[in-house]
Amino acid sequence: MEDLSFFCGAVDSDLYISFSDRACKKFLGDRAEGLITDIMMEFDAEFFKDACERVLMSGFEEDMLISLERPDGVYSPFHINLSLSEDSGVRSVMFKASDVYLSEERTREFRERLREYEDFVSGMGFFLFKYDRDSGNITFFSFENNEKKILFDGLLYEWVEEEIAKFVPEEDKAKVASFQTILESAAESCSVTFHTSFFSEDETSRLMQFTGTTVIASGGERHIDGYVMNVKDDAKTPVISTMTSTDKDQATGVYDKDAIKDYTIKTLSNMKDDEMVWIAIFDIDEFKEVNDSYGRSFGDEVIRALSRCILHSVGVSGAVGRFSGDQFFVCVSGMDENDIRGLFTEVRKNFEWEILSIRSDCHVTLTIGTVSAPLNGTDYDTLFEKLWKALYIGKGKGKNRYIIYREEMHGNFELPKSESAGKYVKGRTELLAVMISDVTEGIIALGKGAVSPALKEASDVMLLDGIRIFSGPGLPCVFSSAEDGNDVMPDEVAESIINSHTFDQNGILMIDRVELCQEKDPLIYEWANERRIGAVVFFAEKGREGKVERVFSFEHALKSNNRRWGAEDANYLLIFSKLIALALREYYEVGESI
């Protein structure tokens, strides 16, 4: 019997599986002929695609951790090795997958990498430390020639009394005392950095940085791992702060709502000219369903798991607070956009894996909204309003994603009136249903005058970058809300769209990624690519003789490359398209501009 914890195969440039060994075929089952990204979570699929492109271009191997869907529908973390294959002159990407939980070989490799990390840290002149919360013992050590060298091993208070009293100047002892308090606290998580001067035996002063983070062992034990390194005397010194019981959310150990708000306001007011500050809200998707399905006790564990994952990723770059039941607020500084994207991706992956390790049948996702200062303002209330827009848009687009607020893309988006107060008054499904109801009532009441407002409403609610309508002989464009204005649809493109075999029985053709139809539908690809369309839904309306009389095009632009169609989008676009088509037949001449 094949071992499904290890298998290999290859994908072509479009990510279709072109080769699979017996174990891989068994793992994939009836999915063996499709896209390999279909068995990955959405954000993992994007990373996998990017990595394959790099391998094809550079020829270098890449390693990654990816969640793959097993035949029973459960996701498991796999280590994936990618390499270039040029069999018979055909370039493809070979993949070797091994289950992280089941592969002993992979575990050994991770341990080897840990040793490499320890060698690197020691080679850079760092010291490592480990604090055991249960025993109160702290150990400082380094590695020389793969051997551990103990520098201090004893109780934390002994280290403070013996080492700190002797080598730390008076003005820095308060920082060390705060550090000691944080390590000894009962909080479930710890993430701390501070600078302090140290005198060596020859009384030379050195500025040292301590950095520590809570680590959860396989048995559930918690200890704090960290390192100590030399820093430049003119380095920006972090101010270590202790969290009092009145500032702390008792269930998770992070800041409470008021405390994280105060922290954010202070951070914004102290922001340097060349500094970037990000604020973000992490919201657990469908958390009520988690509570209803698995019980409130498990729901509490989900919340604690998320707080641990966020704290681990934020580290010393900022602070974390619990904003409401299943929402966490984060304020970080010193990161650029690539850094913040990496942080969000890391939190989402770690959170999903941690929950799956607790319950393999529970798949929990996050939606994250974020905004940066000073690009989008420096006032807390102004930024918070924009932050909430980003989160709301992420929820509206189908959840399980992050949205970075951009004024040019999201500035015109209006929240429902009570939304800025922090409560969702409408989910996406309700918004879409309300839109259909409004459009129906508008057409009944206003007739022709309802069409243009209906198109605008659909564009706003569904976050579309463009809507085009082609109507009449030769399918001229009679309406376009896209940036490039009115348009034409060449006969051959119209023919390709109309005759596409991927239209469903209702006349809907949904293309989630235009780039993937380059070979199958090159004319559609060229037409969409010229107009910078990244994803599109076509609706083809047929007349009495069965001939297509109108084509609707609903578009996401390439610049919005993180947008995807939600599961319910096709249904609502179908209903909306039929309503508008009915209004066009009733009130407009064929080919008349709207």
Placement of tokens 């990244």 in the chain: 534
Task: List pLDDT tens digits, range 236-259.
Answer: 444 444 455 456 777 787 888 888
Q: Which domains does the chain have, with CATH numbers?
A: 6-101 (3.30.450.20), 103-242 (3.30.450), 243-425 (3.30.70.270), 431-587 (3.30.450.40)
Tokens of 234: 């003119």
In the chain, the percentage of residues whose pLDDT exceeds 70 is: 79
pLDDT for 127 equals 78
Average pLDDT over residues 288-305: 87
Quote the CA–CA distance of 304 and 297 in Å, as a whole number. Answer: 11
Classify the C-alpha dihedral 245-249-250-253 as positive or negative: negative
Band of pLDDT at residue 220, cut at 50, 70 and 90: low
> How far is Cα 457 from Cα 435, in angstroms, rounded to an integer?
7
Task: Please give the average per-residue pLDDT across 468-478, as a whole number.
Answer: 88
| pTM assigned to the model | 0.42
User: Does 120 have pLDDT greater than 90?
Assistant: no
Q: How far apart are CA 137 and CA 456, in angstroms?
A: 64
Residue 191 in 3-state DSSP?
strand
User: What's the rounded mean pLDDT across residues 403-422?
Assistant: 70
Region 492-504 average pLDDT: 79
**Residue 98 predicted with pLDDT over 90:** no
pLDDT in tens, 426-442: 455 666 777 888 788 78
* Rg, the chain, Cα only: 28
Rounded CA-CA distance 157/166 in Å is 14
pLDDT the model gives residue 122: 56
What pLDDT is stored for residue 428 in this prediction?
59
Question: Do residues 285 and 366 make contact, with C-beta atoms less than 8 angstroms apart?
Answer: yes
Reduced to 3 states (helix: H, G, I; strand: E, B; else coil), residue 514 is: helix
Residue, of 588 and 128, whose pLDDT is higher: 588
The DSSP line for 345-369 is HHHHHHHHHHHHHH-TT----EEEE
pLDDT at site 468? 92
Q: What is the rounded average pLDDT for all residues in the chain? A: 79
SS3 398: coil
Q: Higher model confidence: residue 155 or residue 559?
A: 155
Quick one: average pLDDT of 373-393? 91
Does 293 have pLDDT greater than 90? Answer: no
pLDDT for 469 equals 93
Dihedral, 310, 316, 318, 319 alpha carbons, nearest 10:
60
Point out which residues pair with 280 in neighbouring strands: 330, 370
Instruction: Identify the pLDDT of residue 405.
Output: 92
Residue 193: which of 134, 129, 243, 237 has the closest Cα?
237
The listed range with the strongest mean pLDDT (105-109, 394-398, 576-580) is 576-580
- The predicted model gives 410-431 an average pLDDT of 57
Per-residue pLDDT at 88 exceeds 80: no
Question: Quick one: average pLDDT of 510-524?
Answer: 83
pLDDT value at residue 419: 47
Sheet hosting strand 137-144, strand order edge to edge: 147-155, 137-144, 127-132, 222-230, 205-216, 191-199
C-alpha 390/C-alpha 371 separation (Å) is 8
Of 360-374, 386-400, 472-486, 570-584, the one with minimum mean pLDDT is 472-486
Q: Bigger pLDDT: 319 or 32?
A: 319
Above 50 in pLDDT, residue 338?
yes
Q: Tell whether the model's pLDDT for residue 340 goes beyond 80.
A: yes
Percent of the chain residues topping a pLDDT of 90: 11
Please compute the mean of the pLDDT values over residues 533-545 and round it to a whole number. 85
164-168, 230-234, 505-509: range with highest mean pLDDT: 505-509
pLDDT of residue 414: 72
Mean pLDDT for 54-78 is 81
Q: Is the pLDDT of residue 107 over 60?
A: no
Output the pLDDT for position 421.
38
pLDDT of residue 486: 58
Model confidence pLDDT, tens digit, residues 171-214: 777 777 777 777 776 455 555 666 677 766 555 666 777 777 66
Mean pLDDT lowest among 92-101, 117-126, 387-396, 536-545: 117-126
